[in-house]
Amino acid sequence: MMTIDVTFLQKTLCNAMCSEVHVREKTPDILAVDTPFTFPDGDQYQLYIKILPGGILRLSDMGHTLMHLSYEHDIDKLREGTRGLLFEKIKSETSVEERQGSLCIDTSPENLAADIFRLGQAITSIFDLSFLKRSRVESTFYDDLRESLFRFVPTEKIRQDYLYEEIDNASDYPIDYRIEGKEAPVFLFGIPNRGAFRGRSAIEAIGYHGFPLQARASNDSPVSHHITHRIHRHSQPPSGFGHR
C-alpha cells in the first residue's frame, strides 16, 4: 500500500484553503479532513480520504450525509420525481459519485483542495433538497400529490388529466384527477400555493353547467374563499357560455 506524507497534505490544503483545515489519521489507510463546513444543526461535514493503489485518493463522506438526512427525512424521496432529477444533476455537476450510499470523488494530492470544495458543495446542495425554495417545492408538489392519492385510492378509480366533455373547449379546462365516487365523481385540483390555482377556470366552467360543486380546503386560505365566492356568484351561466 502506498504511503503518503500527511504533513505535505496538511500544508497543501492550508495554503489552498485556510488554516481551519486539518488532516489527521483516522486509521492506517483512512485520513479524516476537518473543515469549517457544517450542517444547519451545527454538525460538521464528515470528509475522509482513503488511500488507494496507484496514488489515487478517494475523498468521501462515508455515507454520513444521507444518514444525517435520514434522521428527519425519507431518503427514498430523494430518488423519485423532480427531487430525483435534482439529486442526479447535483452529482453530475460536481463530479460526485455515489457508492453504496457514500458520496465520493477520486482525486489526487494536486487536486485535493478543489475536490474538497466540490464535495462540500454537493453535500450542501443535496442537504438543501429537504429545504427547497418555493419554486422547487411547487415543482415537486404534483409528484407528492400523485403519490399520496394513489396510496389511498385504488388505481382503477382514478383518471389523471381528465377532460369534462360536457363543457365547450374541454381541453382548455383540464382536471388534475377524476376520482370515482359512490354517488358522483370527485374532481381533484392541486393547489401548490396561494397564488397558483390552475383549476379555477375549470371549476367555474363546470359550475356554469349545473354540476354540484363544493369548495374544500385544508385551511382557511384566501384561495378557498375566492373559489367558493366565484362558484356561488356564478351559479347561473352568463351570456356567452352556451349549453350543450
Mark whether 94 and 15 lie in a shared domain. Answer: yes
Mark whether 104 and 142 lie in a shared domain. Answer: no
Q: What is the pLDDT of residues 154-188, one digit of tens each?
A: 999 999 888 888 777 778 778 888 999 888 888 88
Q: Percentage of residues in the chain with pLDDT exceeding 70? A: 72
Mark whether 65 and 181 lie in a shared domain. Answer: no
Q: What is the pLDDT of residues 193-216, one digit of tens each?
A: 655 555 555 555 555 444 554 444
pLDDT for position 98: 94
Give dist(CA 217, CA 141) in Å, integer: 16
pLDDT for position 203: 59
Give dist(CA 103, CA 47) in Å, integer: 10
Q: Percentage of residues in the chain with pLDDT exceeding 90? A: 26
Mark whether 141 and 90 lie in a shared domain. Answer: no
Mark whether 116 and 147 lie in a shared domain. Answer: no
Mark whether 125 and 139 lie in a shared domain. Answer: no
Instruction: Find the domain containing 211 and state its range.
Output: 135-233
pTM, 2 dp: 0.52
**147-154: long-range pairs with CB below 8 Å, 24+:** 147/80, 149/177, 149/179, 149/188, 153/179
Of the CA atoms within 13 Å of residue 102, those in its CB half-sphere come to 15
* Grid cell in block for residue 65: 450525509
Q: Residues 123, 124, 130, CA angle at the centre, nearest 5°?
A: 100
